[in-house]
Homo-oligomer: A and B are copies of this chain.
């Protein structure tokens, strides 16, 4: 086996390990906001309002899944829905103030955790690792073999 093949297998194995653990630990870290909710809130923050359908398409989730997630987030007071005056089928989703706060807080705690874990990495390695991850995910058309 070539070095490249060995490397591919390692990547596969390590990504699998990582994937298996991710959600559970995210939940443990901040029980108030699941990984999905966090992601959706983050998206809303970035875009400053978007439709449920966009979220579904962007994250390769079923619209019913998004619908329920959004319902829960609204229930929790983290997002609000505004009826699009142009098209009454559409609800434009916005973060509430509480949503922004929680998002910031969770982002903060996640960032701290990552920082701690990566604390003893040389900067050059961090930069390269970040680039690799970006390249890896970019090669993934939201729904293929991304485990």
List CB contacts (< 8 Å) of A109-139 with chain B.
Answer: 110-111, 113-118, 121, 123, 125-137, 139
CB distance from A7 to the nearest CB of B (A): 4
Are the CB atoms of A110 and B3 closer together than 8 Å? no
Cβ-defined partner of A113 (8 Å) among B9, B118, B145: B145
What are the residues of chain B within 8 A of A21 when measuring CB–CB? 60, 140, 142-143, 146-147
Query: Scoring A residues 54 to 66 as 1 if CB is less than 8 Å from chain B, else 0, what string do you get?
Result: 0000011000000
22 A-B interface contacts by CB (under 8 A):
A5-B115, A8-B114, A10-B130, A10-B133, A11-B126, A14-B134, A16-B35, A16-B38, A19-B26, A21-B142, A21-B143, A21-B146, A21-B147, A24-B60, A25-B144, A29-B147, A110-B147, A113-B145, A117-B136, A117-B139, A118-B139, A125-B132
Are the CB atoms of A22 and B147 closer together than 8 Å? yes
Are the CB atoms of B126 and A26 closer together than 8 Å? no
User: A144 CA to B109 CA in the complex, in Å?
Assistant: 13
Copies of this subunit: 2
Interface class of chain A by DSSP = helix
User: A134 CA to B22 CA in the complex, in Å?
Assistant: 15
Instruction: Select from chain B the residue with minimum beta-carbon distance to A118.
Output: B8
CB distance from A127 to the nearest CB of B (A): 5
